Structure 1
Amino acid sequence: MKAYHNCCIIDDDEFFAFNAKRLIIDSDFSENVLWYSDGQRAIDGLIGLLIENISLPEIILLDLNMPNKNGWEFLDEFAALPLKKRENVHIFIASSFVSPDLMEKAKGYNLVLEYLVKPLTKESLVKISTFQKK
């Protein structure tokens, strides 16, 4: 049985997204994995799901450095969605940057549960699952 029904990767790095999706599926972490290559496509896609009355993914893995709309801008727009529609969504930053400043900034967003450093590993998925159970 999968840990989650839907997961979403928001990252412009196709190589990371492909490998993360494969790991997520092979590890039985999630049944479905959505991928958006930037924050604007992600916000548009997620709003589209809401318009179609489809639940948002339970887990979002969000990169920070992307074209069109970066991770911070995505978080600001996502926070503007009705709480009732996004309350079951858990966002994890997935970044290559090991920066205390960025990690501290992420803590300022109530939507962000944890700052993960790439690459995504089975241990990362276990950490996400464990974090969810707290």
Structure 2
Amino acid sequence: MSKFESCCIIDDDEFFAFNSKKLMKEMDFCENVLWYSDGQEAIDSIVGLLIENIKIPEIILLDLNMPKKDGWAFLEEFNKIPENQRSGVKIFIVSSFISPENMAKAKSFTMVEQYMVKPLTQESLEQIKETTKGS
């Protein structure tokens, strides 16, 4: 599969974001990587892109535990964006915690493809490619 046009990391952990961006570049995973340190910054930017009629990222890697607006609040806000403007977006929750409650809650959001556990690896990026093939 050809690489993605753009991806977005929403995570307050700079080390995770840096390493994920580096891995994505090494694997030629996507053209562009956007990084936001909290859900509020991310939703504001995504809405701004839509207002400017700029395509939003196809892949979003979302952490759940962040200051200001956490991953759950981001999902609630993202869900308010009209379906036709977010239909091509796949969200992957990337968390440090294996929580059955969080995994179940994540499934309640139709735009969430999968719940993954940190760190991001070559295998997890390959899994994202496989999951989104033909979508």
| Fold similarity call, TM over 0.5 | yes
SS of equivalent to 1:57: coil
Q: Which ranges of structure 1 fall in alignment gaps of 5 or more residues?
A: none
Query: For residues 17-96 of structure 1, what are the structure 2 equivalents within 5 Å?
Result: 17-96=17-96
Identity across the alignment (%): 62
Distance in 2, matches of 1:83 and 1:25, equals: 30
Which aligned runs of 4 or more in structure 1 are off by greater than 6 angstroms? Answer: none
Partner of 2:112: 112
- Give the structure-2-normalised TM-score: 0.96
Question: 1:124 offset after TM fit, Å?
Answer: 0.3
2:106 partner amino acid: A
CA distances 1:28-83 after superposition (whole Å, capped 9, x unpaired): 10010000000000000101111111001000000000011000000000000011
Question: 1:101 offset after TM fit, Å?
Answer: 1.1
SS of equivalent to 2:97: coil
1:29 partner amino acid: F
Distance in 1, matches of 2:13 and 2:2, equals: 25
Cα RMSD of the aligned pairs, angstroms, is 1.1
Distance in 2, matches of 1:5 and 1:124, equals: 18
Question: 1:2 offset after TM fit, Å?
Answer: 4.8
Distance in 2, matches of 1:126 and 1:83, equals: 27
- Give the structure-1-normalised TM-score: 0.97
